Chains A and B, each alone.
Chain A
């Protein structure tokens, strides 16, 4: 399904990336080696697919077409966040140098850390504040979906600590706060009932 706003900056759509994961086919496979946005999108879709398998629900392509609301929300955010976004300045040793990180690279990193927690999928990941201004205070907002059975408060605290450590190492942002919001609790489907014939007369 290709909808307005579905395409990344390179022109590829999430539907194409999802189809590539399913079939291994895409019009210009060489492009995937040279596009960090597509690579981040594929990585996120693979992690979503793994979580989908854990939930024994429909595959990513079906979810992407609107089957599951929580996954659709995540996919909607991915479409937005995989774009390069704003440029975050880095300190340079030579005054003639200009060094940057893209907002998209940091968002993808946040998402990968959140997704690495078992039974967790990152939804919205936002850097709030003027990230283009060195030293400006930044708030990180992350929304997650958690599979039922995982302690949410502990999960949120552990994720907050992990993100704080990672952002301190991998960026020069002045992180003032990291807000974790659990927006969905995902229930595992009930096991199928199978008749126990041994006990029957």
Chain B
């Protein structure tokens, strides 16, 4: 991946983070790929102090794969919030081919 593509990907991840955080009922966005599951990521973070993007983006054969891990903290049903988060990501991407994965890791009563 070139620096240009990496920068574009990081920008899109930041944009999507804002999109997901703005969804009603989303109380937190957690690292999609926890650092302790990513040796490379943990090493980079340890050396640079930089955090990996909270929204995970990968691309394969022209299709974007987006993964978000969220906490839900409202009276709204968690399944509905997860669907709305996925829909918000799709609205932001427009016609870009994508597969979206949303994982609810915390539900606050």
B1 to chain A, nearest CB (A): 23
A10 to B37, CA, bound (A): 9
Q: Is the CB of A87 within 8 A of B107?
A: no
Number of interface residues, chain B, beta carbon within 8 A: 28
Q: Is the CB of A170 within 8 A of B71?
A: no
Q: Is the CB of A98 within 8 A of B31?
A: no
- In the bound complex, residues from chain B placing their C-beta under 8 Å from that of A102 are 103-105
- In the bound complex, residues from chain B placing their C-beta under 8 Å from that of A109 are 107-109
Q: Is there a chain B Cβ closer than 8 Å to A171's Cβ?
A: yes
Q: Is there a chain A Cβ closer than 8 Å to B34's Cβ?
A: yes
Sorting the interface of chain A by its residue count into under 10, 10 to 19, 20 to 34 or 35 or more gives 35 or more
Contact of B103 among A37, A100, A108, A116 (CB under 8 A): A100
Q: Is the CB of B109 within 8 A of A100?
A: no
Contacting residues of chain A (78-113) with chain B, CB-CB under 8 angstroms:
84, 87, 90-94, 96-102, 104-106, 108-109, 112-113
Q: Is there a chain A Cβ closer than 8 Å to B13's Cβ?
A: no
A113 to B108, CA, bound (A): 10
Q: Is the CB of A172 within 8 A of B79?
A: yes
Please name the residue on chain B nearest to A12 by beta carbon. Answer: B36
Q: Is there a chain B Cβ closer than 8 Å to A9's Cβ?
A: yes
- In the bound complex, residues from chain B placing their C-beta under 8 Å from that of A113 are 109
Interface string of B31-60 (1 = CB under 8 A from A): 100101000000000000000000000000
> Which residues does B use to contact A, with CB under 8 Å?
28, 30-31, 34, 36, 69, 71-72, 77-79, 82-83, 86-87, 90, 98-109
